[in-house]
């Protein structure tokens, strides 16, 4: 992947900026230069965001990168164009943001992406879904966001920090670089699981003890095997007692069953005796009801006879009802006949009166016909009147248009004069612009020198602080050297005393003393048994520590001297910059508020430029308006001439139409004002004719209808009278037959017998049911008395109370035995459940203990709780780190001309030291020995960290599938190099294989003097801009 171009719109300090990396396509090395905070890192934030939707830092979200100065209606967007494997890709991303819409209201826009590829194609593909675009880019580059920022933007500072860090810090940094947090999570999870397994095993033991304590008859403090044996013995004893109780219970149950059977038989006999007594009482009651039942049987016979002759009696009653209805119809039809006769005579008279008016209606019809013929004359007159009014309106409109155009011409003349005066009032704008350009160049010089001065002051203050820190370190190191010198002297003295005492103990009498030379030894030195023995290793270790501390103090002194020189250099540079800035401000000495003056001067220049631009825009707008008004004035002449001609033509047309109208007015009928009045009079005449015709037709139709209705009424009256005579004869015959039947049934009955019995017919079913029920009860009672007499068979009444007392005693004895059996069963089940639970818990605890032992071993290996104290994560990091060091040695050999090589410290390196597996040493070929990487100087440390960073880039690329990234950016770190080391580092970077574009991000002045190709980032008033440089300025 090779960057080509990145466009930033309202992103960070960039308003609308394009960074063109093709400016450096012919050079392999270029510098990204700019002051701190100018926006160098923001370029790579934008590059990372365009590719992966995230910036290079987790603390900077894309939405937070929207410029503070961005207009509310303009969006934030990043467009990145890059080449990869022979094709060109362009990706545009927009973060979530709120913009002002067309109607002035805030509108929230979600994040969006647009990926187009390949740009060489006439029909490129386009992806607009975020997940699809993210997946595509990750698969295309075979890189994640973290791998990209590790490979493309080398974390130089982290590797320099790495060389001086302790083991835990190294592990943290390598974990971040190689993303081995999964092993840390595994370790934590294994520890948590181990703790839980131990807790579970303890819970099992608690449950086991609790299960044993639930059995009060067995000592819970017994061992598990002894406890189980005791439980098994109790179970056997309980089973024997339970078998005996169950036999007793079964015998007693048989006795209870026998007494219960006898009680049931006696209770049944007692019930039978009661039923027989009740049946005999029921028989006596039935005998008393016999007379009433006989009366019901007589009533039932009467109702049944009436039911048989009911149809004949109903025919007689229906005939009587019909005769009454016919009498009413005859009366009604007679009255209707008289009414229709009177109405027919009145209608006939009205018809004759209407026929006498036909001559007068004929005259009205003739008047209407004549008026209809002359009606079109009114339409022609109305048309001519409308034409006259239209002509009058056209004349008025033409006159109004003429007045409007004349007023517009006068207004244009006045406006042109005013704009001409306004343009003259602006003065010479070109001269004003030249002066403003000169002031802006002066302001740029002020800002440039001011930024340089502020940077130098900041560096001077940092150097002063660093000098103080080094002085404090030197003071502490001097105290350490003094203490270690005293410790070495104490150890040497103690060793000498011990050696003297040891030698004195070996002196023979008469032998000369090796100290004083005397042959008498009255008080020889003696070995103190309480004193600690000083070994040669302790003396050597103390001597090495003292020498190391002295070397450290020497280096600190040298560093203090260098920092003091740097502070002096910065002081001289500050004085020079102050002199330049004072000259630009027009003073002999730099004032204390020079920053405020520079800012104020810039604001004045900016305000003047804004005022000039406002005047320029206003003058251009006024000139455009003047030109437009002059064009309108020229265009208005033609409409004015056209208006005059239109007014004259409209006047002539109106005069001609008015003369024709007066001629047509004389042809209209007299007494009628207009066409509407004529139409109303015509409609009135026609309505009179129509109303007469309608009345005549209606009278004739009504006369005919009344004659028809009168004839129908007469026919109906005759028919009903004939039917009435026939029905009267039939009714007499029916009455005679009913009287004969009634006498034949029973001679004492009267005519009202029919209605009385018919009213009681509804009781017929109830009477039948009551008689049938009585007969059924008599029969059932007789059967019941016979059955009970046979069942009792003369037996006496039983003694139920005595039998129940015997049953209660037998049941109480049985209940007692059942309770004893239940208690023994419950005790047996409790023992069996406890036995099974304890056995199950013992088996589970054994399996858990075995699994815990294996899991403890696994956890110890993964967490490093072994003899070599090497955890799984640190083992993996060590493996990664060995690959990195192998690759770094190739770069370090080139950067240090073969002097240094990295070595991973062995387990036994450093007497008494705890081995971490990640200790780094360097082999110094000049000294021919290995020493700690912490002893490297500042420049050597940078070379080593650069080699590590480049090696890391190589290793991560190999782990990511062997991909090739054609761009590499190195962030800072060059400030600690001298001129020779800096030249070696740049030469090594230029010779790197596989990186055709290498960018160094730095503000070190020496790099600007040695790298001709530069991407320069400058910031003015919080807004950043980029420029390109391909030559070193003198």
Q: What would the mean pLDDT of 512-517 be, rounded to a whole number?
A: 62
Whether residue 320 contacts residue 707, with contact meaning beta carbons closer than 8 Å, is answered with no
Q: Which pLDDT band, with edges at 50, 70 and 90, does 613 fall under?
A: confident
Could you tell me if residue 742 is inside a domain? Answer: no
Could you tell me if residue 259 is inside a domain? Answer: no
Look-up of token digits 């994640």: 144
Q: What is the DSSP letter of 636?
A: T
Residue 33 sits at φ, ψ, to 5 deg, of: -110, 150
Q: Which pLDDT value is given to residue 976? A: 58
Q: Compute the distance between CA of residue 254 and CA of residue 248 in angstroms, rounded to an integer.
A: 10
Compute CA distances 400 → 285, 395, 404, 640, 644, whole Å: 127, 9, 6, 12, 11
Same structural domain for residues 447 and 590?
yes
Same structural domain for residues 129 and 184?
no
Residue 529 has pLDDT above 70, yes or no: no
Whether residue 111 contacts residue 94, with contact meaning beta carbons closer than 8 Å, is answered with yes
Q: Which pLDDT band, with edges at 50, 70 and 90, does 910 fall under?
A: very low
Q: What would the mean pLDDT of 907-934 be, rounded to a whole number?
A: 70
Take residue 545 and report the two structure tokens written for it.
């520590």
Count the domains in the chain.
Answer: 5
Q: Which of 692, 711, 729 is the last residue of a domain?
A: 729
Could you tell me if residue 272 is inside a domain? Answer: no
Q: Compute the distance between CA of residue 74 and CA of residue 409 in angstroms, rounded to an integer.
A: 43
Same structural domain for residues 577 and 527?
yes
Same structural domain for residues 350 and 440?
no
Q: Among 58-62, 149-153, 482-486, 994-998, whose mean pLDDT is lowest?
A: 994-998
Same structural domain for residues 503 and 408?
no
Whether residue 1008 contacts residue 992, with contact meaning beta carbons closer than 8 Å, is answered with no
Whether residue 375 contacts residue 674, with contact meaning beta carbons closer than 8 Å, is answered with no
Among 956, 953, 981, CA closest to 967? 953
Q: Which helix H or strand E contains 971, and what residues bound it? A: strand 968-971
Q: Identify whether 962 is preceded by a cis peptide bond (ω within 30 of 0).
A: no
Take residue 86 and report the two structure tokens written for it.
């022979």
Residue 44 sits at φ, ψ, to 5 deg, of: -80, -25
Contacts of 882 (CB under 8 A, 6+ apart): 904
Residue 34 sits at φ, ψ, to 5 deg, of: 165, 155
Q: Which pLDDT value is given to residue 100? A: 86
State the alpha helices, DSSP H only, in 426-535: 429-505
Q: Compute the distance between CA of residue 626 and CA of residue 623 in angstroms, rounded to an integer.
A: 5
Residue 914 sits at φ, ψ, to 5 deg, of: -80, 120
Q: Which of 962, 991, 1018 is the last residue of a domain?
A: 962
Could you tell me if residue 60 is inside a domain? Answer: yes
Q: Which pLDDT value is given to residue 111? A: 92
The two beta strands, 929-932 and 1023-1029, are unpaired
Q: What's the alpha-carbon Rg for the chain, to the nearest Å?
A: 66
Domain that holds residue 533: 429-607
DSSP per residue over 278-294, as a string? HHHHHHHHHHHTHHHHH
Same structural domain for residues 456 and 413?
no
Same structural domain for residues 453 and 545?
yes
Q: Compute the distance between CA of residue 894 and CA of residue 985 in angstroms, rounded to an integer.
A: 9
**Percent of the chain clearing pLDDT 70 (strictly above):** 89
Among 40, 132, 235, CA closest to 999? 40
Q: Among 521-525, 581-585, 753-757, whose mean pLDDT is lowest?
A: 521-525
**Percent of the chain clearing pLDDT 90 (strictly above):** 9
Same structural domain for residues 1031 and 931?
no
Q: The CATH number of the domain where 975 resides is what?
A: 3.40.50.300
Q: Which pLDDT value is given to residue 116? A: 96
Q: Which pLDDT band, with edges at 50, 70 and 90, does 911 fall under?
A: very low
pLDDT, tens only, 156-182 = 556 666 666 666 666 766 676 666 778
Q: Which pLDDT value is given to residue 167? A: 65
Look-up of token digits 């039939």: 730
Look-up of token digits 């009433």: 292
Is 1029 buried (19+), middle (13-18) or exposed (0-12) by CB count in 10 A? middle
SS3 2: strand
Q: Compute the distance between CA of residue 1024 and CA of residue 67 in angstroms, rounded to an integer.
A: 11
Q: The CATH number of the domain where 189 resides is what?
A: 3.40.50
pLDDT, tens only, 391-436 = 888 888 888 888 888 888 888 888 888 888 887 887 777 788 778 8
Q: Which pLDDT value is given to residue 652? A: 84
pLDDT, tens only, 665-674 = 776 777 777 7
Compute CA distances 429 → 435, 609, 624, 684, 743, whole Å: 10, 11, 17, 88, 149
Higher-scoring residue by pLDDT: 861, 150: 861
Q: Which pLDDT value is given to residue 121? A: 92
Could you tell me if residue 849 is inside a domain? Answer: no
Q: Which pLDDT value is given to residue 530? A: 58
Q: Compute the distance between CA of residue 623 and CA of residue 841 in angstroms, rounded to an integer.
A: 103
Could you tell me if residue 550 is inside a domain? Answer: yes
pLDDT, tens only, 855-878 = 888 888 888 787 777 778 778 877
Residue 86 sits at φ, ψ, to 5 deg, of: 85, 5
Same structural domain for residues 491 and 557?
yes
Take residue 103 and report the two structure tokens written for it.
């109607």
CB atoms within 10 A of CB 90: 19
Q: Which pLDDT value is given to residue 494? A: 81
Could you tell me if residue 540 is inside a domain? Answer: yes
Q: Compute the distance between CA of residue 40 and CA of residue 45 in angstroms, rounded to an integer.
A: 9
Q: What would the mean pLDDT of 529-556 be, rounded to a whole number?
A: 80
Between vectors from CA 901 to CA 169 and to CA 166, what angle results, nearest 5°? 15
Residue 937 sits at φ, ψ, to 5 deg, of: -75, 180
Same structural domain for residues 878 and 932?
yes
Between vectors from CA 552 to CA 550 and to CA 553, what angle results, nearest 5°? 65
Same structural domain for residues 410 and 528?
no
Residue 106 has pLDDT above 90, yes or no: no
Q: What is the DSSP letter of 66?
A: B
Take residue 1009 and report the two structure tokens written for it.
């003097």
Q: Which pLDDT band, with edges at 50, 70 and 90, does 912 fall under?
A: very low
Q: Which pLDDT band, with edges at 50, 70 and 90, does 803 fall under?
A: confident
Residue 991 has pLDDT above 70, yes or no: no
Q: What is the DSSP letter of 900?
A: E
Whether residue 697 contacts residue 373, with contact meaning beta carbons closer than 8 Å, is answered with no
Among 821, 823, 835, 820, CA closest to 215? 835
Q: Which pLDDT value is given to residue 137? A: 92
Contacts of 886 (CB under 8 A, 6+ apart): 951
Same structural domain for residues 103 and 37?
yes
Q: Which pLDDT band, with edges at 50, 70 and 90, does 51 fall under?
A: very high
Among 163, 164, 169, 160, CA closest to 974? 160
Could you tell me if residue 877 is inside a domain? Answer: yes
């Amino acid at each position: 992947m090779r960057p080509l171009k990145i466009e930033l719109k309202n992103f960070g300090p960039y308003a609308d900026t394009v960074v063109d990396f093709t400016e450096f396509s012919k050079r392999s090395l270029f510098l990204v230069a700019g002051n701190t905070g100018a926006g160098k890192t923001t370029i790579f934030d934008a590059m990372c965001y365009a590719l992966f939707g995230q910036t290079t830092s987790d603390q900077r979200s894309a939405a937070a990168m929207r410029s503070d100065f961005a207009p509310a209606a303009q969006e934030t967007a990043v467009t990145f164009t890059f080449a990869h494997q022979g094709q060109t890709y362009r990706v545009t991303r927009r973060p979530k943001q709120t913009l002002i819409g067309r109607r002035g209201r805030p509108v929230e826009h979600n994040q969006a992406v647009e990926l187009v590829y390949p740009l060489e194609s006439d029909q490129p593909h386009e992806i607009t879904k975020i997940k699809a675009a993210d997946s595509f880019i990750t698969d295309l580059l075979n890189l994640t966001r973290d791998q990209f920022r590790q490979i493309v933007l080398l974390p130089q500072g982290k590797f320099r920090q790495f060389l001086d860090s302790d083991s835990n810090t190294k592990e943290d940094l390598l974990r971040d670089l190689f993303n081995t947090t999964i092993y840390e999570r595994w370790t934590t999870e294994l520890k948590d699981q181990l703790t839980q397994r131990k807790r579970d095993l303890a819970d099992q033991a608690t449950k086991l003890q609790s299960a044993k304590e639930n059995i009060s008859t067995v000592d819970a403090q017994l061992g598990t095997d002894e406890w189980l044996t005791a439980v098994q013995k109790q179970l056997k004893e309980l089973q024997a007692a339970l078998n005996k109780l169950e036999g007793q219970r079964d015998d007693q149950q048989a006795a209870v069953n026998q007494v219960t059977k006898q009680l049931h038989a006696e209770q049944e006999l007692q019930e039978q005796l009661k039923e027989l007594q009740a049946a005999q009482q029921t028989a006596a009651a039935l005998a008393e009801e016999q007379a009433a039942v006989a009366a019901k049987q007589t009533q039932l016979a009467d109702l049944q006879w009436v039911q048989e002759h009911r149809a004949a009696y109903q025919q007689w009653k229906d005939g009587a009802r019909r005769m009454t209805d016919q009498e009413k119809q005859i009366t009604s039809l007679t009255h209707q006949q008289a009414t229709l006769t009177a109405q027919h005579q009145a209608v006939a008279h009205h018809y004759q009166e209407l026929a006498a008016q036909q001559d007068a209606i004929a005259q009205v019809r003739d008047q209407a016909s004549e008026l209809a013929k002359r009606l079109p004359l009114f339409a022609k007159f109305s048309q001519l009147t409308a034409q006259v009014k239209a002509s009058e309106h056209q004349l008025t409109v033409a006159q109004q248009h003429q007045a409007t155009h004349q007023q517009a011409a006068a207004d244009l003349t006045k406006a042109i004069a005013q704009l001409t005066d306004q343009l003259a009032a602006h003065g010479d704008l070109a001269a004003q612009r030249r002066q403003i350009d000169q002031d802006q160049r002066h302001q740029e010089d002020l800002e440039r020198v001011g930024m340089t001065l502020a940077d130098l002051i900041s560096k001077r203050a940092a150097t002063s602080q660093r000098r103080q820190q080094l002085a404090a370190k030197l003071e502490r190191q001097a105290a350490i050297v003094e203490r270690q010198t005293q410790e070495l002297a104490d150890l040497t003295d103690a060793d000498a005393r011990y050696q003297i005492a040891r030698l004195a103990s070996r002196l023979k009498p008469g032998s000369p003393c090796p100290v004083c030379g005397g042959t008498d030894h009255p008080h020889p030195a003696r070995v103190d048994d309480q004193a600690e023995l000083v070994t040669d290793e302790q003396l050597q270790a103390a001597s090495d520590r003292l020498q190391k501390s002295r070397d450290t103090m020497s280096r600190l002194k040298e560093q203090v001297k260098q920092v003091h020189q740097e502070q002096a250099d910065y002081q001289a540079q500050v004085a020079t910059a102050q002199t330049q800035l004072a000259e630009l401000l027009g003073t002999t000495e730099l004032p204390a508020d020079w920053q405020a003056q520079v800012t104020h001067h810039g604001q004045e220049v900016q305000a003047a430029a804004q005022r000039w631009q406002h005047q320029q825009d206003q003058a251009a707008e006024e000139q455009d308006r003047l030109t437009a008004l002059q064009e309108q004035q020229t265009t208005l002449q033609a409409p004015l001439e056209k208006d005059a001609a239109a007014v004259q033509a409209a006047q002539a047309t109106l005069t001609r139409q008015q003369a024709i109208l007066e001629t047509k007015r004389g042809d209209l009928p007299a007494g009628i004002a207009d066409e509407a009045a004529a139409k109303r009079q015509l409609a009135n005449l026609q309505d009179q004719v129509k109303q007469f015709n309608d009345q005549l037709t209606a009278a004739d139709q009504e006369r005919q209808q009344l004659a028809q209705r009168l004839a129908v009424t007469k026919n109906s009256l005759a028919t009903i009278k004939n039917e009435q005579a026939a029905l009267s004869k039939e009714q007499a015959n029916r009455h005679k037959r009913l009287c004969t039947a009634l006498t034949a049934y029973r001679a004492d009955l009267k005519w009202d017998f029919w209605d009385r019995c018919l009213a009681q017919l509804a009781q017929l079913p109830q009477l039948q049911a009551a008689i049938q029920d009585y007969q059924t009860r008599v029969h059932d009672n007789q059967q019941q008395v016979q059955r009970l007499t046979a069942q009792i068979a003369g037996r006496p009444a039983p003694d139920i109370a005595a039998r129940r007392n015997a049953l209660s005693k037998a049941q109480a004895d049985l209940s007692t035995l059942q309770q004893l059996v239940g208690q023994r069963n419950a005790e047996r089940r409790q023992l069996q459940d406890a036995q099974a639970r304890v056995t199950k818990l013992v088996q589970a605890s054994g399996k858990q203990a075995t699994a815990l032992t294996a899991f403890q071993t696994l956890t110890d290996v993964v967490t490093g709780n072994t003899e070599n104290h090497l955890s799984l994560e640190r083992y993996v990091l060590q493996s990664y780190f060995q690959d990195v060091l192998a690759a770094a040695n190739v770069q370090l050999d080139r950067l240090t001309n073969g002097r240094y090589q990295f070595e991973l410290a062995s387990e036994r390196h450093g007497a008494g030291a705890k081995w971490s597996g990640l200790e780094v040493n360097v082999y110094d070929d000049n000294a021919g020995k290995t020493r700690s990487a912490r002893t490297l100087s500042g420049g050597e440390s940078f070379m080593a960290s650069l080699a590590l960073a480049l090696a890391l880039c190589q290793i991560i690329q190999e782990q990511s599938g062997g991909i090739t990234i054609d761009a590499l950016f190195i962030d800072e770190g060059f400030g600690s190099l001298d001129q020779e080391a800096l030249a070696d580092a740049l030469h090594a970077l230029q010779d790197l294989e596989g990186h055709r574009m290498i960018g160094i991000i730095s503000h070190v002045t020496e790099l600007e003097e040695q790298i001709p190709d530069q991407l320069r980032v400058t910031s003015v008033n919080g807004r950043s801009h980029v420029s390109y440089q391909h030559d070193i300025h003198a």
